[in-house]
Chains A and B, each alone.
Chain A
Amino acid sequence: MWEDQSSSDEEGHKLSTLPELNSRLRAKSSSNPNGLEIRNRTMSSSSSSQSEMPIAIMSGIHSDRIIRQQKKSSPSLTNSASSQDIENQRDLYGFVIKSAYSDEYRDFMDSYIVQLQNQIESFGHFVEAHQSDLNEGHLPWARPDSRPSTPYGERKGSQDLNESPIEVTATYITNTPTKHQTQPDIASPSVKSLEKLGLRVSNYLMSASKSSETIFSPSPKEQFLQMVKKGIPPQYRPTFWRVFSGTDQVMTMSKGLYQQILDDHSEEVSLAVQQIEKDINRTFSTNIGSFSRESLKRVLVAYSWKNPRVGYCQAMNFIAAGLLIFMSEEEAFWMLAFVVERLLPNYFNETVSGSRVDAVILNKYISKRMPKLYKHLNQVQFNVLVFSAQWLMCLFITSVPNETAFRIWDVIFYLGPKVIFEVALSILHLLEKPLLEMNDETDIGVFIGEEVSKLFDADQIFQTTLKPLDARKITKMREEIMREIEMETKQRTCNFEHEELVKSTHFELKEIVELRRQFNCLDLKHEQLDNAQFSKIMHQTFPEWLPEEETFITRLFDTLDESHKHHLHFKELIGGLSSLCRGSIDERMDLCFQTFDTDRVQGISQDNMHNVLSAIYHLYHRDDSSTEVTFYVDLLFKMSREENKGDTDRVDVKTFKSVLPMQPFIMKCFLLDQPKHQRMPVLRQTTGLKNSNELTRSSSSSSPGSVLNSVLDKLR
């Protein structure tokens, strides 16, 4: 795995994607055709002096040679970055350190190097002592057979202290894949899934917090946590990140899937893929060579196919790039899956709702842990989302210096999402005093951004006096707030729809709100109305219609069902009721025409006319009135033919409207006999007629026969 990444082939990929580096290398090509020489040089100089140390420590990681090269090279590609870049110091990972902070960085590094050396030693021993556990993908104390745990400090195998830590790593890392291959199944049931790992982590947390209170000497787990908090040395990160996240297991179970996904979709382009392509060079653009941009693209593209619901969301590019600094493509791919699906659920969906959920949680914790600050931020109307979106979505990597970010990742991957909040709170705690003095939201945003970008010492964050958070509580809160946010989103969509309906219908807002309330009280599936429910509503709204007469109502239902999905949304229903109950004569006539135009061809056939008209007759009196209907239909088509001077077999809108007043039952049914009707629809669950008097009254209110006579008179 490791060799793959630093092979010269891979290197070639990297170079080809980086115009900057290309131009730099072209300029230097006489001395350094591929940069490999530089790596060798830095590796050999690893123990020379303390100021060389950062590079020596990183020499397992390919960025070192670039760091060196950067300082010497002069040509550059952009007019802006050029002059600064040369001056600028770069950090362990080849990222530019702002010149304003370079002194601070240097001071910090002097002391951090010592810590890092110690860490390399500690982790070296730990890895050696627990290699088989780690190869199986878990930590020693999580074994199901609860074998007595080995304290990490115990030095088995008596490692030569003069041995280069890098070589130890190299041995370990080359061993890992071989062991994986010879291991067909996951041996331990406790590590079968990511969920279990999560459980283990939270169980561990419980016991760790208890034990730290009751027992004087810290448990091995507690000791290990302290070790993780001091920073996992870069060369050990891939191993521990995989173990912490359960990626080891997932990779064993899904062997080859990553490549399979890439192969399956190699020719395909999607919106996500296009967005990814645009973002590849916009990811840590000042960084040169610590990760391959080709790899970054493949990891993101593969993930977008693996999880099409998420596809690609900006911020994932930064996380993937951060992972690729340490890990192979396949590992980074599965780690990204872990981050997107487990650590930051719903963060990257269409509405980034997860990030809003966690902003609410963070805000709640600020109010509990730092009430003064909370009150102050509220007073100046500062929303935590202003910074939390970036902190949380990118797991701090675009906000804090890189080593700080990776040290935060160490602990987040180990203990889970609660650490995200603990870190955010701890940072705010560090800045609380000056923040209390600031009254402008932009000033606060700028200040936080600047302060955080020079937080070189992650110890400051982890040595907080704030109490640790309860992981289970956070899980619960996430669920609850997600539900609330979903409700709110629904409400907002509703409000928007209502406003649109005020514009498009004849109802006032308060009527629509009331109709929605009644609509919501109906027993509906997916907030959609079926034919039977629609029928109940129509009978309540038009009590004069005879009960159990469904043919016409079904016809009306089909007319309003614009999407042809055999159900009506609120919008469709209200649109129809508006035309019917409140529309102008013309609008009602249009609806009437559409109801008769069963074939939706802007022309009513004789059969259509006959069927719908019969249905309307049946709405008003049950007797078979087929003669009357036939007579009327024949009459209408005779007129239509005369008017169109041809043998048309369909009646168009114009003719239809002109002869409508001659058909009393249609007029009645579509309320066309009442020029200014203001009927209010009734959307109630209960069946039956509300007012039976109304039925008798309205059905006797006009005399269809007399109208028919007058029509006949006119036609003679």
Chain B
Amino acid sequence: MAGQMRKALTYKLVLLGDAGVGKTAIAVQFVKGQFNPFLESTIGASFMNQTVTLPDETLIKFQIWDTAGQERFHSLAPMYYRGAQAAIVVYDITNRNSFEKAKEWIKELQQQGDPNVVVAFVGNKVDMPEARKIQPSEGESYASENGLFFIETSAKTAENVSELFMKIAKQLPSIQRQKDITSGPSNPGVKPGVGAPSKGKGGCCG
């Protein structure tokens, strides 16, 4: 895979988080550059594709699996995150409950998901600072404790949205290469985030 420069590397990315935190909004902002405050509630899952180019000209194609957030759809989730190489776990910075839910998702991914999955811990809706309930430091510290990378976004203003995906993209090939080098075809026991240092050190080319 490493040799094919022109061809896009394809990665499955899954969006997880409580209902109404802005999962679909983040995906739509990233893929279409649009924002709609009343996006349809997602039932089951929906799909989008988007390709990004890294500074080293590597093409990364994201297959985005956007999932339903309502608690009762949780039982369907394993089927959606199965085989995902990246996960974005979203909470709403104005909603404490959604932050707790996001932590549960992280726990579940760590227990059930592919150990190589790159996990981003995302606080959305920074365009509403007056309603903020979760300080950035709180998200940041949870993320670093769990070896995830952390970023705050606004799907509304597009703040940090493409940065989020670029950061994930940068870390993906590095893990891919690491995988090729270290253990060949079998699954290496890399814990989530090992290849994904937080605070934006940029795992890819480093």
Contacts and interface: CB of A to CB of B under 8 A. Distances in A.
A476 to B, nearest CB: 24
Contact of B40 (A351, A388, A398, A449): A398
Contacts of B72: 313, 348-352
Contacts, number: 99
B44 A281 contact: no
A394 interface: yes
Interface string A20-41: 0000000000000000000000
Interface string B72-90: 1101100110010000000
A274 to B, nearest CB: 10
Contacts of B34: 79-81
B12 interface: yes
A385 B47 contact: no
Given A352-B73, A383-B79, A275 B43 contact: no
Contact of A449 (B43, B47, B71, B75): B47
B47 A318 contact: no
Q: What size tier do the contact residues of chain A reach?
A: 35 or more
Nearest to A449: B47
A669 B76 CA distance: 49
A150 B79 CA distance: 51
B166 to A, nearest CB: 20
Interface string A438-457: 00111101100100000000
Nearest to B37: A78
A282 B44 contact: no
A282 B73 CA distance: 17
B36 A394 contact: no
Interface string A348-386: 111111011000000000000000000000000101011
Interface string A657-693: 0000000000000000000000000000000000000
Interface in B93-147: none
Nearest to A442: B63
A86 to B, nearest CB: 15
Contacts of B46: 390, 449
Contact of A442 (B12, B32, B75): B12
A81 B76 contact: no
Given A352-B76, A442-B63, A318 B49 contact: no
Nearest to B42: A314
A471 to B, nearest CB: 25
Given A78-B36, A350-B72, A352-B75, A389 B45 contact: yes
Contacts of A79: 34-35
Most buried by A among B41, B49, B65, B70: B41
A283 B41 contact: yes
A393 B43 contact: yes
B41 A385 contact: no
A389 B45 CA distance: 8
Interface in A414-441: 440-441
A319 to B, nearest CB: 11
Contacts of B12: 442
A279 interface: yes
B202 interface: no
A613 to B, nearest CB: 45
A449 B64 CA distance: 14
B41 A386 contact: no
A386 B49 contact: no
A282 B49 contact: no
A709 interface: no
A566 B63 CA distance: 53
B44 A390 contact: yes
B19 A385 contact: no
Given A389-B45, A445-B47, A285 B75 contact: no
Interface in B5-43: 10, 12, 19-20, 28, 32, 34-43
A81 B43 contact: no
B175 interface: no
Interface of B: 10, 12, 19-20, 28, 32, 34-49, 63, 65, 68, 70-73, 75-76, 79-80, 83
20 contacts: A80-B34, A81-B34, A279-B41, A282-B40, A284-B40, A285-B36, A285-B38, A317-B41, A352-B75, A356-B76, A385-B76, A386-B80, A389-B73, A394-B43, A398-B40, A440-B63, A445-B45, A445-B65, A446-B49, A449-B47
